[in-house]
Amino acid sequence: MSNLYNIYRTTTEDSKTQIPGHITLQLKEYLIRGAAIITTMDNAIGSIKMNDFMFSAEGIESEDQFMEIIASLLNDNGFGCKEIRGAYIEIFAIYRGPGKTQSFIKSDFIAKRGTLSTAEKELAYNTYFQF
């Protein structure tokens, strides 16, 4: 999959600024936001908003590899938990060219192993949108 996008645009009559006829944007990194499902030190299940994190788009060969990287970077925002079980995440692509632009790709649930229950998914989703 190519990470280069060419945008062609012509000037319009009502344009007050000069628009370049050709802009190349290159996918450079991904930004992940979300809420993690955690097991607390007393074995309760909870959810906490994660610190956002970014990683380079370079060298990613497959969606499996992409999701493995995300799973390895899930975090508890410094809370200190026994285990991070998974998360509700939003994925953004960061493109660079003559500037920087951010594009929403998708939202999803991710489990570090196994699957998340419906209740865990609802908890993470509600935690993410609560704040």
Read off the pTM: 0.81
Closest CA to 28 of 59, 66, 6, 50: 59
- Are 119 and 105 a contacting pair, CB within 8 Å? no
3-60 confidence digits (pLDDT tens)? 555 444 444 555 555 555 677 889 999 999 999 999 999 999 999 999 999 999 999 9
**For tokens 């060219």, what's the residue?**
97
- Are 89 and 33 a contacting pair, CB within 8 Å? yes
- The whole-number average pLDDT for the span 52-72 is 96
**For tokens 């990683």, what's the residue?**
55
**For tokens 């991070």, what's the residue?**
84
80-130 confidence digits (pLDDT tens)? 999 999 999 999 999 988 888 889 999 999 999 899 999 999 999 999 998
pLDDT for the residue numbered 16: 54
For residue 2, pLDDT beyond 60: no
- Are 48 and 76 a contacting pair, CB within 8 Å? yes
Closest CA to 105 of 23, 38, 32: 32
pLDDT for the residue numbered 23: 75
Q: How is residue 47 written in tokens? A: 């959810």
Give the contacts of 16 (CB within 8 A, at least 6 positions apart): none
